[in-house]
Amino acid sequence: MKFGVIVFPGSNCDHDAFYAATRNLGQQAEFIWHDSASLGSVDAVILPGGFAYGDYLRCGAIAKFSPVMRAVRQFAAGGGPVLGICNGFQVLVEAGLLPGALIRNRGLKFICRELRLAVGTTNSPFTNAAATGQVLRVPIAHGEGCYYADERTLDELEAEDRVAFRYLDNANGSLRDIAGILSRERNVMGMMPHPERASDPLMGSSDGLVVFQSMLRAAVPA
């Protein structure tokens, strides 16, 4: 399996995602610069964390206009799996590939700590290797990670089993404890916690590796 890791000006978790895919998962990966019009021959796309374009306008608001995002939209429309982590989640929301918004954390402070997540569904290319309700220890590192959406959208996410992860320790105030969501087609997922930072025992937790293992299982069924 080959992962494409999108690199925006300001990405700072791109090498973490690359390492998780290549060293921890044992698969191929390549970096794709933001002004590329093509994704090449990748099997999955990762939009990593960071501060795309410095987040000067609004997190992800400028990045959604990058040439590569047209290719990402086409890839997703064709059923390709797209994972957005932290700032990548913000980009996917701004690009309209996922509903809702990410706003300032409750308390208005940047939070960097390990939290417990509960797996909300195993019916996705990103969670199929987990068990429903399984608790994962995964870190967060964001200032604008509070998930917000209107009641109708929140109800739809829950009714359609599209809440991929929920916080058991809701540090940022996300509505309904939402930590990650899926698109209607289930092939696009955004999550604020960083699974790539919890994919190696040396980091204190390898629980996040289940996300990448799920993507591999979906791409290469046993």
Helices (H), 20-171: 67-77, 87-94, 151-159
Determine which one of 13, 94, 146, 194 is catalytic: 194
Of 209, 165, 164, 166, nearest to 182 by C-alpha is: 164
3-state class percentages of the chain: helix first, strand second, coil last, to nearest 5: 30, 25, 40
How many residues are given for the chain? Answer: 222
Cβ(101)–Cβ(182) below 8 Å: no
Alpha-carbon span 161 to 144, nearest angstrom:
24
> What gap in Å lies between CA 112 and CA 27, rounded to an integer?
28
Could you confirm whether 34 is annotated as catalytic?
A: no
101 Cβ neighbours under 8 A, 6+ residues apart: 93, 147, 148, 149
Active site residue 194: yes
107 alpha-carbon distance from chain centroid:
23
Q: What are phi and psi of 120, to 5 degrees?
A: -90, -30
196 catalytic? Reply is: yes
Which of 13, 59, 86, 146 is an active site residue? 86
Q: Which of 13, 142, 146, 196 is catalytic?
A: 196
Q: How far apart are CA 120 and CA 126, in angstroms?
A: 11
Q: Scanning the structure block, which residue is given the tokens 């797996």?
A: 119
Catalytic amino acids?
A: 86, 194, 196
